[in-house]
Amino acid sequence: MARPHIRRISRTPMLSSRRKFTSALLVVDMQYDFVHGSLAVNDATSIIDKINYLLGLPFTIKIATKDWHPPDHVSFAMRHEKTPFSKITVYPPGDDRDDRAREQVLWPMHCVASTPGSDFVEGLHYKALNAVVHKGTHRDIETYSGFRDPWHITVTELPSLLEAQEVTNIFVVGLAGDYCVKCTALDAVEFGYETWVVREAVRDVFDTETHWEEMKKKGIHMVNITEVEEMLKD
Ligand SMILES: [Zn+2]
């Protein structure tokens, strides 16, 4: 197989172009509720083995995100007395200016902090992880990205974990491609990282394919596991 081209020079000033290839694996939301539970993603069980294989590869750091909500989280349909998968408009807490408005899909209650639904899915080799980052912890703020909320009010521990290891390249896998994987990958680019999505180790909530194009347009690369393995041999 042809060796994938690895661009080592960041497009943003945040990372020095002299930094050597340093990799992070980001495992997004591989939790019970997203695989078997209240918000189960179609075919999600089939990526567990693929992610376990990746967890065995020599990334510099391996980090998982967990959706980690209070029981009355803003994204839960129940809180608004609406049907799951309907949509509402949300604003940052205390700021209802029009330009801050965002469409929010209302979900069935899922991944309530410290409940069985928020546990890592059975079979995931979570002991190979170096860190776990929690997101969506604020009652009134939805956070799909592992980095921060869409209004950039709250930031998780993820940026500092990556900075501490001088990471240059981020590899994203997990659930779901059209929400948390996409938002995490888009933020990874904004934070200045060369960003790769291991597409065979991602599953989506909905069947639309537009999110893949959206990611590619922002400079996110799609790779398969064999290509990742080759890159880590450097
Ligand atoms: Zn959630």
User: Which residues have CB atoms below 5 A from the ion given as ligand 1?
Assistant: 67, 136
CA of 204 to the centre of ligand 1 (A): 14
Q: Where are the domains of the chain?
A: 23-70+109-231
- Residues labelled catalytic: 29, 135, 180
- Do residues 105 and 37 make contact, with C-beta atoms less than 8 angstroms apart? no
Tell me, in angstroms, the distance from the centre of ligand 1 to residue 50's CA: 23
Q: What's the CATH architecture for 23-70+109-231?
A: 3-Layer(aba) Sandwich (3.40)
Cα dihedral 95, 100, 101, 102 sign: negative
Would you give per-residue pLDDT tens digits along the chain (234 residues)?
445 454 444 444 455 455 789 999 999 999 999 999 999 999 999 999 999 999 999 999 999 999 999 999 999 999 999 999 999 999 999 999 999 999 999 999 999 999 999 999 999 999 999 999 999 999 999 999 999 999 999 999 999 999 999 999 999 999 999 999 999 999 999 999 999 999 999 999 998 889 999 999 999 999 999 999 999 986
Q: In angstroms, what is the span from residue 143 Cα to ligand 1's centroid?
A: 7
pTM: 0.91
Å from CA of 39 to ligand 1 middle: 9
Amino acid at 197: V
Contact 105, 87 (CB under 8 A): yes
